[in-house]
Amino acid sequence: MILDRFKVDGRVAVVTGAGRGIGAATAVALAEAGAHVVLSARHAGQLQKVAAQVEEAGRRALVVPADLMDLQAVAALADAAQEEFGRLDIVVNNVGGTIPNALLDTDSDYLEEAFHFNVSTAHALVRAAVPHMLAHDGGSVVNISSVMGRLSGRGYLAYGTAKAALAHYTRLAARDLSPHVRVNAIAVGSVMTSALEFVASDEAVKASMESVTPLGGIGDPQDIAAAVLYLSSKAGSYVTGKVLEVDGGLDQPNLDLGLPDLNLGEKS
């Protein structure tokens, strides 16, 4: 049956940023499809709640609270999976993000921090995970990028640049690691997570975002989790080096930050 290709029975996944939102939904989806999951994020309490859902699905969860800006802590998740479960098959690089900022307020340190959080963390985990994947049947990496990695909008310079870098990292890593490790990414649109809580409380902003989105709504974390499962499972076994756009059809940013034009003659 075709649905069997979406099963990941006996596989082991590492999901970063797994305490809430897309990461939590992804961890639970992978568990429901058969995988044991290593969960990591900063807050242990959030991870424990997700772990309980993983266990309700009949799978095991390993909770690893960590500051994932620390590249050694991120890389250590691969060894933690090996030690706890004896293998590692799936990596979901979900941790990331950067607060929007005007260009003149985005200094070089801010830009480098965005790159570190969105790209360097992913590379640290991939590099640590690949030897464990090669020891068995290979594996799959899914990087969570963003629609802002391909669209332009004011205020998104650091975030969009970092996510664009992650998308191209995906293509390059896929070539380096083929044929045994597949590497893909998801360009995520606006998804109703804690980062968009203000949208839910402002009907005018929400309506504006929905009107710009061709499918007329804001995404759900499970929309992304389903795409991760596809790319992680045999269903996506002939896909590598690709960026899957799960964004409601966006061809322009749907959240205008309202940054004004710069004024000629204005001094800092």
Instruction: Give the catalytic positions in this structure.
Output: 159
d(CA 33, CA 46): 22
Residues 6+ apart with CB under 8 A from 163: 96, 118, 145, 146, 148, 149, 187
Tokens read off for 212? 């710009």
- Cross-strand partners of 40: 16, 64
Positive or negative, the CA dihedral 170, 41, 56, 58 is: positive
- Main-chain phi, psi angles of 234, to 5 degrees: -65, -20
Residues 6+ apart with CB under 8 A from 7: 33, 34, 233, 234
